[in-house]
Chain A
Amino acid sequence: MIYEWLYNITGSSILSMFVVSLLPLFVFILPFALLAVLAERKVSAHMQDRLGPMRVGYHGILQTVADIIKLLQKEDLVPAATDKKLFNFAPLLVFAGSYAVFAAIPFSSIFIGSQIQLGIIYIVAVTGLVVAGILMAGWASNNKYSLLGAMRSAAQIISYEIPTLLIILTIIMITGTLSLYTLSELQTSYFWNWMILGGPATGLQKILYIPLMIIGCLVIYISTLAEVNRTPFDIPEAESELVSGYHTEYSGMKFAMFFLAEYANMFAVSAIVAIIFFGGYQSPFGYLGNAIGLHWLVPIEQFFWFTAKGLFFVFVQMWLRWTLPRFRVDQLMAFCWKYLIPISFVILLLAGLISLI
């Protein structure tokens, strides 16, 4: 583990802890957000028969850098009628919530921020902070659109956590572990060991698991999509109705914090889907490092596979966003309570029965 390695070198637990906790931010989240914002714009542009940003750098690759410089220069505007403390604190809370998720995500077998045994539950719990932050932002802005957005957002995130949790519960029941590291290790070697294809179970059990897992994967993907407020579930910030929802009043770096949190969240939920159903950092067909005897290559390959899977799901999110219209708030709730939750209960029940075979 990185932490032990650093501890051995520096001898200071505080310093190594500090470095480890900052690593995902600087090595991963910031570059990812830079890349993802650009990718979002390019993906949408090419889907819409246009080119997207083309001016800054070759094919506009420095566009987000320019945007960040612009945002840094902006005045930090706090409207007069806001609740100032909450208004300033909300973006921090939202960002902290989505950043803390990365602590428990195994990027590869040697790099996990913190090897918590309760990994999955920790992630689900810590995303709850985001709801508080959003509500805080909506309330403190003293703007009716923000308030409506925040209320919608809270209702939506809390509702969609239920199907997510039920599917996670199914997985816990099958595998008997709460740790994301152990879960990833269970799905090792080849892709037929991935949970989407029944996991490490064998024989009849495995065949019976497959349809359940595919449906479960869809359910969890849809509900995590709703949790990060992406189209078709982006009603909290529904641009054409609520202007920008809960972050209408924010500008400059505070807005950038929300923005960064959104993209960090996008990757976080994609990573969760990848870990639970698609083997996490495991390669689908063995490791090059093992084959040619360079064992230090394996973690790098794992990191590559993990990022590739995560990015693929992020790409699907973008793809959906630029294809689908948006639900209405009551339809969104109906979809969750009438379809997703019953389906996930049935999956939980059936998976329980199958595991008895």
Chain B
Amino acid sequence: MSAVLQSLVNQPYKHGFVTDIESDVAPKGLNEDTIRLISAKKNEPEWLLSFRLDAYRKWVTMSEPDWQNVHYSKIDYQDISYYSAPKPKNKLASMDEVDPELLRTFEKLGVPMHERAALAGVAVDVIFDSVSVATTYKQKLAEVGIIFCSISEAVHNHPELVKKYLGSVVPVGDNFFAALNSAVFTDGSFCFIPKGVKCPMDLSTYFRINTEGSGQFERTLVIAEEGASVSYLEGCTAPQFDTNQLHAAVVELIALDNANIKYSTVQNWYAGDENGIGGIYNFVTKRGLAKGVNSRISWTQIETGAAITWKYPSCILRGDNSVGEFYSVAVTNNFQQADTGTKMIHIGKNTRSTIISKGISAGHSNSSYRGLVRITPTADGARNYSQCDSMLIGDQCGAHTFPYIQVQNNTAKVEHEASTSKIGEDQLFYLSQRGIGAEEAVSMIINGFCKEVFQQLPMEFAVEATKLLSFKLEGSVG
């Protein structure tokens, strides 16, 4: 691997390593010493250690939630190693060494040739393209005052911002998994858009390769100051493998007056095999605070991977006239389980929220929409529109909808619509009678079903997402 790449990969940790600790992996188990070790390894300031310890002390008093509609065997939290130094991935000498299954996947997804090599971990010169892209990005963003870096870097270079906002939307004791994350997070992304700046491009973690493999407890913080706007893309359609089964990320968004944050996710963690063996547990807390007047927070998610998904990207609409949006497609196949949805908490006057959720279940999978719309007494004139549609493929899968509506202000308007449909034998027969093959037919039906959500995605992502869904459901019909 080139020196340039090596340094980029290691960059976030350049401040970190303490020479007297030889091992790169912390012993298994979690206690206050583990947390002190993580903090010391990362050479963190005292306030961050306190933050972590505070979270840990809350976490030990909490118990794992069991209200969600998913089933898995108990996680032994003392059997996990909470710190390992990031190592550059083993590079393969050529594309010939790459798992043919992975190549077939790339083919199906239409991943561009030069990216396939990078994603598969092949050490070829084309990887430099990504490096130069990343560098160009950074320069362009710096010119307008945007900070986009790993959260470890931000802790050292912009401590006042991190200290001010970290945990301000998702408090350390918010829930079991958020508390765990707050105690042990190792890295993640930090993004700051200063006053009045419209971010000139979509910010993508995909290009921020210097924090590749930021681990199982990822932490993301996005701040848009007054009048700023940003579109943030998380994940990519290529399948992601990880040896850690438990992933508990936290994402916090803060939008000040007239600011606009659009956060799009394509999640394709390893989902386990067709018998439900293995796969990632994706237990994520994502929350946005529409703090200022006329601010807007918009979540778009395409959830296709993970053995178990547990996430509710939410909006707290505190500013008057603020807007919250949630657009979601959750696909489950084989033995996958997803319990996902959103919370819209209306506090400010004339706040508005929209929820569009599309669940697609195939195989033996189970998909649940769980959503809360709360109109607090101060939210005069608040409005919400929710639409939850489920599609079933085959007769072994399940779809469930759990909408909770709490209205404490009688000027509010709340609408909820829900539907469940089966991908019809009849629809497939109709399309096939026009010469259209099964794969294209499924793709077309699914695409139509998810249209309102795909429309929210950046163009390129939308095309990839369509292919990804077809790929995920391949073979589940007919």
The reply to whether chain A is a binding partner of chain B is no
